[in-house]
């Protein structure tokens, strides 16, 4: 982290051992971003987010929840009213990307919905599959064994949790270091979404983001 933007002199970083202590620190310092575990002694991530989001003096903060990547935890994170979810073990590049994103744009635009859906895609006539970690109105982050490069154009298809099927051309705009010994992580930006599909994603994201502000 010492070599990242977090080492700038105008950024202050505080560390605490539990979510309860994070809440106390936020009351005193009014943080811009909180990175919290889903489970700590004394207070869960759900309780932390609820207390913050329901307090007019504390709610103007972005929150990242980190947790082991299991389905039951993902369901809990969706209810946390956090801005982003990152799986443990934490990929440093993914964490830094989310932190930079949340510190530089407004909460609603930064709202990325954690999800676990299978993606089918093709690039240079070669098929691949992957799994999305989160989605926003402009693109998504996914893991795949495929070897892709920044600037590559891919055709991707997936279904939203409400069964709406999405097909779109997209561009690889970020290539992050390997999440596991076998998978790479890619950020893609949608290019030619039809109006009805764009509206479907926007509606889904807005619905899930309603409780984050």
Does 131 share its domain with 80? no
How many structural domains compose the chain? 2
Beta strands, E only, the chain: 33-37, 62-68, 84-88, 113-123, 126-135, 139-144, 153-159, 165-176, 184-190
Average pLDDT value over all residues in the chain: 83
List, in sequence order, every residue forming a beta bridge with 129; answer none if it has no partner: 120
Does 83 share its domain with 155? no
Q: What percent of the chain has pLDDT over 90?
A: 34
The CATH number that applies at residue 29 is 3.40.50.2300
**Quick one: pLDDT at residue 3?**
56
Pick the last residue of a domain from 110, 132, 148.
Answer: 110
Does 50 share its domain with 147? no
Pick the last residue of a domain from 110, 141, 167.
Answer: 110
How confident is the model over 6-54, as pLDDT tens digits? 776 678 899 999 999 999 999 999 999 999 999 998 899 999 999 999 9
Pick the last residue of a domain from 57, 81, 110.
Answer: 110
**Quick one: pLDDT at residue 196?**
83
Does 84 share its domain with 131? no
Q: Whole-angstrom Cα distance, residue 85 to residue 80?
A: 10
108-134 average pLDDT score:
80
Does 73 share its domain with 123? no
* Residue range of the domain that includes 69: 5-110
| pLDDT, greater one: 33 or 74 | 33
pTM of the model: 0.50
48-72 average pLDDT score:
90
| pLDDT, greater one: 213 or 97 | 97
The CATH number that applies at residue 132 is 2.40.10.220
């Amino acid at each position: 982290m010492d070599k990242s933007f977090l080492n700038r002199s105008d950024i202050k970083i505080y560390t605490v051992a539990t979510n309860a202590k994070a809440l106390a620190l936020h009351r005193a310092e009014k943080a811009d971003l909180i990175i919290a575990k889903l489970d700590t002694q004394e207070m869960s991530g759900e309780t932390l987010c609820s207390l913050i989001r329901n307090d007019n003096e504390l709610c103007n903060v972005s929150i990242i929840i980190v947790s082991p990547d299991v389905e039951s935890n993902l369901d809990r994170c969706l209810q946390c009213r956090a801005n982003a979810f990152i799986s443990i073990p934490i990929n440093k590049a993914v964490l830094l990307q989310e932190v930079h994103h949340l510190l530089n744009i407004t909460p609603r635009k930064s709202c990325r919905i954690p999800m676990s859906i299978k993606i089918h895609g093709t690039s240079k006539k070669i098929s691949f599959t992957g799994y999305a970690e989160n989605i926003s109105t402009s693109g998504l982050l996914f893991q795949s064994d495929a070897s892709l490069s920044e600037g590559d154009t891919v055709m991707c298809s997936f279904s939203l949790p409400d069964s709406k099927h999405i097909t779109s051309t997209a561009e690889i705009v970020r290539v992050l270091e390997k999440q596991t010994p076998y998978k790479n992580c890619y950020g893609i930006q949608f290019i030619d979404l039809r109006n009805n599909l764009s509206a479907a994603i926007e509606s889904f994201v807005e619905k899930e983001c309603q409780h984050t502000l």
